[in-house]
Amino acid sequence: MITGKNYIGEELSNKGDITFKTFNPNENKETEPVFYEATINEVDRAVEKAAKAFYSYKKKTDVEKAVFLEAIAIELESNAKLLKEIYRTESGLPEGRANGEFARTTSQLRAFADMLKEGTWVEAIINKAEGKPDIRRMQIPFGPVAVFGASNFPFAFSTAGGDTASALASGSPVVVKSHPLHAGTGELVSEAIIKAAKKTGMPDGVFSNLNSKGIEVGEWLVKHPEIKAVGFTGSYRAGTALWKLAMNRPEPIPVYAEMGSINPVVVLPSALEEKADFWAEQYAASITMGCGQFCTNPGLILGIDSTELNHFIQKLGENISKLVPTVMLSPGIHEQYENSKSEVLAQPDYSAVNKFGGQLNPHCGRQEIISVSGEAFLQNKNFHKEVFGPFSVVVKCKDKEQLKEVIQQLEGQLTGTVLNSGKKELKEYKEVIDALTETVGRIIFNGVPTGVEVCAAMMHGGPYPATSNAKFTSVGLTAVQRWVRPVAFQDCPQVLLPEALKNENSLGILRNINGKYTTDSL
């Protein structure tokens, strides 16, 4: 049952007077539950509980934390039917997407649990030599983390998503600022986390969930002195605002913000000579997947002007026009899409390729493709902007040098893709590919950027403004590194050392001892 209240640790609370409802974009109406926006007092209590919980939670063993994460996955699965139903109601996303995102959410919780059981994530380093200081180093958690739910992933990037899972794995309590578009989903997920915390003996305050339809709750949360780091997925405007708030605190804290990307795709000539129709079909599907509401949506396609590229553009347009548009996440996001698209279409020097020409249901995003010359793209930054939705720009460069110049002018991106079918050509375009690599966090060959595998090697981040810190990922096991810091213990008595650094390697983890990785004891 959805109460509309805030979770202040284990306590349900609704002290405020500001209320709101979520919206069903498919049925074009508000949902029934009423949600209570958190007050500043409730924000304070949530963070204070998290700060108190930190002192006991950080002492939990990795195995105990792993059991907690696994218990969250089990609690979510026990209520999967209702969770997916509310998810679809509040987001308008289809059943297949709900199933896939739910499975990803539970699997990444279990992946972090497995990481904890294995134990090497603490990066234990021991330098011990005769006549020198005994220095031992490992990672320890920052403290309470504020997580902002994302509009476009109610499960995987929100309440129990990657930010929360990785922060809890690190030993850091979490306070979530729930996204107002899916507050009902957020409450039910929070209920599962609280149940799991109680069942596994975690301290009250290890997790809280705060409702908000405005910006005040998020601002209070980031400015609270006991919050030690922030995880955010959303717009550039909101992400930079949070970063500025965090930097202006008496004690500045890191903000790990994923803020958008146009994800350039470089189509080399060989790819079009052999598989133009195939790639046109693949990219029409990728551009429209989830109505284009993916951070890895391919919003920019780059190639060298040729008969083959023109054929690809024509086929891409034909495929785009045949796909039935789907509903966007909310009326507000639909309006933003139309406004952003209109700004681009108000520019000179582009050619309309194709769009869906049929009638639209309310809040559905009409997909559209345009093309511009390399020269026009270089001269007009408006063509570089992200349009969050099913929209893409194809750039026809005059030669390889202009293609390289276009890439070098791009801002930081989450992904870059190269389509090709010949090794010789890869060598010929090495400088172009090197330029693309400098711009992105993940470079993909012969695929589509939509879809992010959750694994240890994944990098879901990129140079600014794709993210606020290009060193870190928000997907995959190394996402835990955002919430920890290294501490060195010099000539520390054995009795005071953390288990990971003691002579006897009771945890059996891989450690770097005098430059050699080993599981041996000292």
Q: Residues 228-242: pLDDT tens digits? A: 999 999 999 999 999
315 and 232 in a common domain: no
Is the domain of 191 the same as that of 111?
yes
Domain co-membership, 310 together with 375: yes
C-alpha closest to that of 101 among 166, 177, 185, 172? 185
Q: Is the pLDDT of residue 422 over 80?
A: no
Structure tokens at 185: 């989903």
How much is the average pLDDT of 133-153?
97
Q: How far is CA 105 from CA 77, 117, 119, 188, 309, in A?
A: 10, 19, 21, 14, 39
DSSP single-letter state for residue 276 = H
**Residue 392: CATH number of its domain:** 3.40.309.10
Residues forming the active site? 258, 295
Q: What is the mean pLDDT of residues 417-421?
A: 95
| 73 and 42 fall within a common domain | yes
Among residues 383, 319, 389, which one has the least CA distance to residue 354?
319
Does any domain span residue 456?
no
pTM to 2 decimal places: 0.96
**Residues 404, 428: one domain?**
yes
460 neighbors 475 (Cβ within 8 angstroms): yes
Asked if residue 288 and residue 221 are part of one domain, the reply reads no
User: Which helix (H) or strand (E) covers residue 57, if one does?
Assistant: helix 40-57
On whether both 69 and 212 belong to a single domain, the answer is: yes
> How far, in whole angstroms, is CA 151 from its chain's centroid?
11
Query: What's the rounded mean pLDDT across residues 186-204?
Result: 98
Q: Is 20 helix (H, G, I), strand (E, B) or coil?
A: strand
* Token couple for 344: 């681009």
Total count of domains within the chain? 2
Percent of residues, the chain, with pLDDT higher than 70? 100
CA distances from 489 to 54, 139, 402, 513 (A): 21, 11, 53, 14
C-alpha span between 218 and 210 (Å, rounded): 9
**The domain that contains 229 carries what CATH number?**
3.40.605.10
251/370 same-domain check? no
Rg value, the chain, Cα? 24
In a domain, 372, yes or no: yes
In terms of domains, do 250 and 273 share one?
A: no
Residue 172 main-chain phi, psi, to 5 deg? -105, 125
Structure tokens at 69: 């994460």
Structure tokens at 476: 């995959």
Q: What is the pLDDT of residues 27-52, one digit of tens each?
A: 999 999 999 999 999 999 999 999 99
* Counts of helices then strands in the chain (DSSP H, E): 15, 23
pLDDT above 90 coverage of the chain, percent: 98
Element (H, E) at 370: strand 368-373
Asked whether residue 465 carries a pLDDT value surpassing 80, the answer given is yes
Cα separation, 169 vs 481, whole angstroms: 10
Per-residue pLDDT at 133 exceeds 90? yes
Which of the two residues, 423 and 92, has the higher pLDDT score?
92
For the chain, give the mean pLDDT: 97
Token reading at 473: 């990922």
Give the total residue count for the chain: 522
Identify each DSSP E strand in 199-274 by its residue range.
207-210, 229-233, 255-258, 264-267
Shared-domain flag, residues 206 and 152: yes
Q: Within a domain: residue 451? A: no
**pLDDT beyond 80 at 395:** yes
Residue 378: give the domain boundaries.
264-445
Q: What pLDDT, on a 0 to 100 scale, did the predictor assign at position 274?
A: 83
Query: DSSP per residue over 324-366, as a string?
Result: PP-B-S-HHHHHHHHHHHHHHHTSSSEEEEEE--S---TTB--
In a domain, 477, yes or no: yes
Alpha carbon distance 170, 149 (integer Å): 19
Examine the domain organization and report whether 162 and 229 are in the same domain: yes
Torsion of CA 475, 7, 152, 218, to 10 degrees: -90
Tokens of 311: 């054929």
pLDDT per residue as tens digits for the range 93-116: 999 999 999 999 999 999 999 999
Residue 109: φ, ψ to 5°: -60, -45
Task: Kindly state whether residue 1 falls inside one of the protein's structural domains.
Answer: no
Do residue 213 and residue 273 come from a single domain? no
> How far apart are alpha carbons 83 and 154 in whole angstroms?
10
**Which residue has tokens 């023109």?**
310
Residue 129 lies in a domain: no
Structure confidence at residue 424 (pLDDT): 82
108 belongs to a structural domain: yes
Do the domain assignments include residue 464? Answer: no
Mean pLDDT of 381-398: 97
pLDDT digits (tens, 9 = 90+) for 209-229: 999 999 999 999 999 999 999
C-beta atoms surrounding 456 within 10 Å: 10
Q: What is the DSSP letter of 223?
A: H
Mean pLDDT of 194-198: 98
Q: How wide is the angle at C-alpha 199 spanned by C-alphas 195 and 205, nearest 5°?
A: 60
